Homo-oligomer: A and B are copies of this chain.
Amino acid sequence: MTRSLDPAIQAPESVSELLERLDRIAGTLPKRLGQCADFLRHNIHLVAVSTVADLSAGAGVQPSAFMRFCQALGFSGFSEMQALFRAEYREFRPDYSERLSQLRRGGDDSPASLAASFAEAGHKSLVNLVNTLDHRALARAAEILADAGTIHLVGLRRAFAIVSSMGYLLDKMTVPAVVHRTFGQIESDHAIRSGDALLAVTFAPYSPETLELAIRAAERGIPVIALSDTAECPLRDVAEALLVAREMEVGAFRVPTAALTLATSLAVAVAQRRESRD
């Protein structure tokens, strides 16, 4: 009765827990079970809508081998594993078809179908963010901001929502941070002291005020992190790290979903680093 490699093991309770376990045991599996693991990793989305026969054929093994694989993962069998994927699917699948028929019925400019379009654009922006994210640059940015005395944030127009949200979040996590160019401020260079750092958020077409503030800070030796929507951002040369978050458009409009997600991640990472340092 070798139900799993470790007989005391329990079944994963979520897909991400499963993937974690998969990674952990991946190297230790025998050939056929390894094929299953490999196939699963690359076709994870098929599990909810396939049979063991389908999946085992895809992996190039016998159904019984796939069965043993499920048990090695800690499940009682395939059905239990599939139930996990189906549950996750039920909860989080966009109802695109419903939306399509909504469009057919209601016409293209109903606010709800507009919202569906923006939501879809948001999905794409997030996928793109994850696929193109520069890990090194993000880690670097987190380090620099964690080492800084005060974190200065600047961003105008579309970028202001990003910095204000980040300012609030950092403040709530007791990280010293100030948002610049608000409340009728014209100049705020003097508030940026040696040992501080600046995060400049600017999207095309770039606000001259933001660029100038960042450039002056860089000239004084203040480390600058830039968050923009293209790699061709004018700050690319003065910034210690350039983070890029590109948004998909709906008509001429964009929701800064990816930028906000990236900024929030950065803020949380910075706060974590600061805490672990105290």
Contacts and interface: CB of A to CB of B under 8 A. Distances in A.
Contacts of A262: 115
A133 interface: yes
A168 B160 contact: yes
A105 B265 CA distance: 17
Contact of A131 (B20, B22, B94): B94
Contact of A101 (B16, B50, B119, B261): B16
A3 to B, nearest CB: 24
A111 B127 contact: no
B261 A260 contact: no
A92 B46 CA distance: 10
Given A111-B265, A112-B139, A122-B257, A105 B44 contact: no
B164 A168 contact: no
B49 A104 contact: no
Contact of A100 (B16, B94, B102, B266): B16
Interface in A248-275: 250-251, 253, 255-258, 260-262, 264-266, 268-269, 272
Nearest to A164: B161
